[in-house]
Amino acid sequence: MSTTGFKQQLFQQFARVAKAMGHGSRLELLEFLAQGERSVDQLAKVSGLSVANTSQHLRLLLQAGLVTNRKAGQKVYYRLSGEDVVGLLASLRQVAERHLSDVSRLINDYLSVKDELQPVPATELLEMAREGIVTVLDVRPPEEYAAGHLPGAVNIPLAELEAHLDQLPEDQAVVAYCRGPHCVLAFDAVEQLRQKGFNARRLDGGLPEWRLEGLPVEQGIRS
């Protein structure tokens, strides 16, 4: 094989991975899988895609090496191939935010209006949590919380926040987090909490980004 031929094949292979990420739905599926493994049916429900369509996208992600799968009875569970995929997604997001004005405008118009404050860096939150001066709030659905969450985090899905305010100490700061840096649930939670008089902030990033920084993750349902 010539040098040119080799190079072209190599770049073509790299392009396969990029192409697999070249559709909004597949990126969303990857973000869901970053929270923990899910079945096809679960992914179809949470994404709003048909099962057949979800299956097709997952097959493409599988062929690109971004996810792996395992069978359990009739169900097929998918997961990210590794933490490096989270890193790749983070890198992609950062480039888009920085160099695409459409992206920064979209984020500004929709998210920054909800929370203009800088999010709390992960290592800073870990420090505050260890000092016991903050309440960490996970606003994702329970199954995502169970798959993995920040140590000591309280799980109150956004839809139930108003009904469970009593679970949050009023004399402490609250830092909310979600699936990733642009997950609306964390923004909405902070907005609601501030309206109720809480000192609420957002975490910089979500559970996958936290884990990517090598920070500790708990699993299971809270006692």
Judged by CB under 7 A, which of 8, 9, 53, 195 binds DNA? 53
Q: Which amino acid is at 147?
A: A
Residue 174 binds to DNA (criterion: CB under 7 A): no
- The Cα–Cα gap between 223 and 219 comes to 11
Which of the residues 44, 66, 136, 178 is marked catalytic? 178
Cα–chain center distance at 1: 42
Residue 106 binds to a copy of itself (criterion: CB under 8 A): yes
Residue 79 binds to a copy of itself (criterion: CB under 8 A): no
Q: In this structure, are residues 87 and 174 in contact, taking their beta carbons and an 8 Å threshold?
A: no
To the query of whether residue 178 is one of the catalytic residues in this protein, the response is yes
- Cβ closest to a copy of itself, residue 11 vs residue 133: 11
* Contacts with 72 (C-beta within 8 Å, 6 or more apart), sequence order: none
Judged by CB under 7 A, which of 7, 8, 14, 22 binds DNA? 22
Cα–chain center distance at 23: 17
Q: Which amino acid is at 22?
A: G
Judged by CB under 8 A, which of 50, 52, 108, 110 binds a copy of itself? 110
Q: In this structure, are residues 16 and 64 in contact, taking their beta carbons and an 8 Å threshold?
A: yes
CB of 156 to a copy of itself, least distance (A): 18
Most distant pair of Cα atoms in the chain: their distance? 69
Site string for DNA, 68-107 (x = CB under 7 A): -x-x-xxxx-------------------------------
Q: In this structure, are residues 197 and 170 in contact, taking their beta carbons and an 8 Å threshold?
A: yes
Chain positions contacting DNA, by CB under 7 A: 19, 22-23, 25, 39-41, 44, 49-53, 55-60, 69, 71, 73-76
Question: Where in the sequence numbering do the catalytic residues fall?
Answer: 178
